Structures are given as C-alpha cells and as structure tokens.
C-alpha cells in the first residue's frame, strides 16, 4: 500500500517580477527605496520580516495579473493590485521552508484556472495551514491559492501544489 504525500510550497515573488518591480511597480510608479528604521515589514521577496536598517521598498503588485499573463487566464474583475514590501536590491530569497507570516489570522483565497475567486477560508491557527491547503486543492477547480492578511487584505504569498 502506497500513501501519497502532498507538499505545498509558499512561493515568493518570482525573481523576474522582482527585478521589474524594483524599477517600476504594477501601478506604473517608480520604486522609491527607503531605510526601514524599525524593521518588521513582511518582505515578499524572501518571505521573512525586515530587520532594522535594511533598505526596502513598498510597491504595488498584481499577483493574479502576472500569473494570468503566464498562463493565458483572464481574471477579469478579479484582477487586483496592492502594496507589498520587498528588499530594494536583489536578495538571496527564502532561507528555509514552511509557511511564513502565520502569526495572525490569514485568508487562504482559492482561484480557478481562469483566475476567478472560488472562495476562501479563514485560518486562525498556525498549525492549520496544511489542512487549509489540502481542503483548497481537494477541489479540482482550484489552480492556486493566495495567502492574504485579514486586517488589510494584503497579498502575502502564493501556494501551489508540488
């Protein structure tokens, strides 16, 4: 008897997109780096919080739009852009595995292969992410999920089944 194990991976923003965002963001604005004096900003390039003194930028990012451009999907009105923090210069990316930014309530938002929202799930416990992803991907219509902050709705990272 064989037991299949499914792995879910938190995906940072792709390097090509990061390079573009560090020049001009998805709203057409020039990147304006600054020194983060306090630290704690959720960085979408390496999926960790910023340290005091790091040079970072707050840019507008359209994750579904970029995914749709790669896949040929048409998200229509579901296309949205929002603020994300990233290092002002290229970084090494995530240092480990696991799910970052699990210290607060999160929404696991499901998307179809057309880029339409299929629903979501509120995740309140840091140990409940695997179950939330398993539930989402049990639906054959789900192509990917976004993990978002509840309090602001900000995109944190994308998850796909590996």
The enclosing H or E element of 59 equals: strand 54-61
What is the rounded average pLDDT of the residues 3-8? 66
Which pLDDT score is estimated for 4?
53
Band of pLDDT at residue 3, cut at 50, 70 and 90: very low
pLDDT tens track for 113-156 = 999 999 999 999 989 999 999 999 999 999 999 999 998 889 99
In the predicted structure, residue 5 carries a pLDDT above the cut 80: no
In the predicted structure, residue 54 carries a pLDDT above the cut 90: yes
Q: What would the 3-class secondary structure string for 90-125 be?
A: CCCCCCCCCCCCCCCCEEEEEEECCCCEEEEEEECC
In contact, 56 and 9? CB cutoff 8 Å: no
CA dist 91 and 95 (Å) reads 10
Of 151, 137, 40, 50, the C-alpha closest to 105 is 151
pLDDT tens track for 55-72 = 999 999 999 999 999 999
- Kindly report the average pLDDT of the chain as a whole number: 93
In 3-state terms, what secondary structure has residue 142? strand
Cα Rg of the chain (Å, integer): 16
Q: Which two tokens stand for residue 61?
A: 């990012």
CA dist 137 and 128 (Å) reads 14
């Amino acid at each position: 008897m064989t037991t299949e194990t499914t792995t879910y991976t938190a995906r940072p923003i792709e390097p090509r997109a990061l390079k573009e965002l560090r020049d001009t963001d998805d709203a057409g604005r020039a990147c304006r780096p600054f020194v983060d004096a306090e630290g704690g900003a959720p960085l979408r390039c390496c999926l960790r919080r910023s340290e005091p003194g790091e040079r970072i930028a707050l840019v507008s990012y359209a994750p579904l739009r970029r995914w749709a451009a790669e896949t040929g999907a048409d998200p229509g009105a579901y296309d949205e852009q929002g603020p994300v923090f990233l290092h002002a210069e290229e970084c090494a990316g995530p240092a480990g595995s696991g799910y970052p930014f699990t210290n607060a309530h999160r929404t696991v938002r499901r998307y179809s292969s057309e880029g339409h929202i299929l629903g979501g799930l509120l995740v309140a416990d840091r140990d409940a992410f695997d179950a939330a992803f398993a539930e989402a991907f049990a639906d054959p219509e789900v192509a990917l999920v976004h993990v978002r902050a509840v309090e602001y709705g900000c995109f944190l990272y994308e998850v796909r089944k590996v």
